[in-house]
Amino acid sequence: MRKPKWLLKKVFFAQKKDVEIALKDIGIHTVCQEAMCPNMSECFSKKLATFMILGSTCTRACTYCSVDTGMPNGIDELEPDKVARAVKSLGLKHVVITSVTRDDLSDGGAEQFIKSVKAIKEMDENITVELLIPDLKYNKKAIQAVANCGAEIIGHNIETVPRLYAMRKGANYKHSLKVLKKLKNANPKLKTKSALMLGLGESEDELKEVLQDLLDVDCTLLTMGQYLAPSKEHTPVVAYVTPQKFEEYGKLASEMGFEFVKSSPYTRSSYMAHEYFENKGKLDE
């Protein structure tokens, strides 16, 4: 399908190269680069990036994702320090950290998330941290430990409606909801977040049901964006959702009870994630 005009993204070059060089010198991966995010040049131009820990090889092969799959190498023990150095180099006040799925690890990689948060907080406790975690193999102890690691926000993406879950290899819709519920139960003060890709053939009724399921597990931060196939070999786009429809869905989510919603064609899980804290004062009024 040919992209509509509203998906012709402007490319930003200012400071982009500086960020790429800094990250390469430190030896840290970003999901921006590995997942070929369409917002990468914009975010890099603003010195924003989402760090991807635990390597760049995923143990699953979701048919919508461009990240490399296979058997990963071991864990880089210096990675948490590298993340902290990258945060300092970019001058970040809000940090987003995600990872590939690591089914080869007993805790799904939870300890590396915890160490990364600790390294950042020891450097500057005023920096806010948002984690975007895989399901951590549904390991209850691992989920509880991550929930109490000091991160202010923890996200786990639901991605799509239950009927379309075949594209999420190794994942289970109900289990993903349970991950979000376990996070909140382990730390009631924690803000939990999730994301949906639209344009995969979901119906509006199915979308509403997912939104209610998220609210039922006390997930109150939400992002919704247009799915874009990384290549012809990946799951194809079924529909391009208009900006107006994204606005309607965003308004619907807010009216249903979500505390913070970002909904637009180019919205991604961590896109402009710091805006939650910029708007938090308004939300608390």
pLDDT digits (tens, 9 = 90+) for 33-48: 544 555 555 665 556 6
pLDDT band at 283 (very low <50, low <70, confident <90, very high): very low
Residue 224 lies in a domain: yes
- Which range marks the domain in which residue 28 is found? 8-284
Q: Is 82 helix (H, G, I), strand (E, B) or coil?
A: helix
- Two structure tokens written together for 53: 């820990």
Tell me whether residue 58 is exposed, middle or buried, using C-beta atoms within 10 angstroms of its C-beta: 0 to 12, 13 to 18, 19 or more: buried
CATH code at position 205: 3.30.750.200
Say if 44 falls within a structural domain: yes
246 found inside a domain? yes
Question: Mean of the per-residue pLDDT values for the chain?
Answer: 87
Please report the pLDDT score of residue 34 as a whole number. Answer: 46
Count of domains in the chain?
Answer: 1
The answer to the question of residue 3 being in a domain is no
Give domain status of residue 212, yes or no: yes
- Any domain includes 1: no
Predicted TM-score (pTM) above 0.75: yes
Mean pLDDT, range 233-238, rounded to an integer: 92
One-letter identity of residue 139:
N
End-to-end CA distance of the chain: 44
Is residue 89 one of the residues assigned to a domain? yes
Domain membership of residue 2 (yes or no) is no
Interstrand relation of 94-99 and 221-226 (parallel, antiparallel or unpaired): unpaired
For 163-215, the pLDDT digits (tens) are 999 999 889 999 999 999 999 999 999 999 999 999 999 999 999 999 999 99
For the chain, give the longest Cα–Cα distance: 48
Residue 234 has pLDDT above 60, yes or no: yes
* pLDDT, position 282: 47
pLDDT score recorded for residue 231? 87
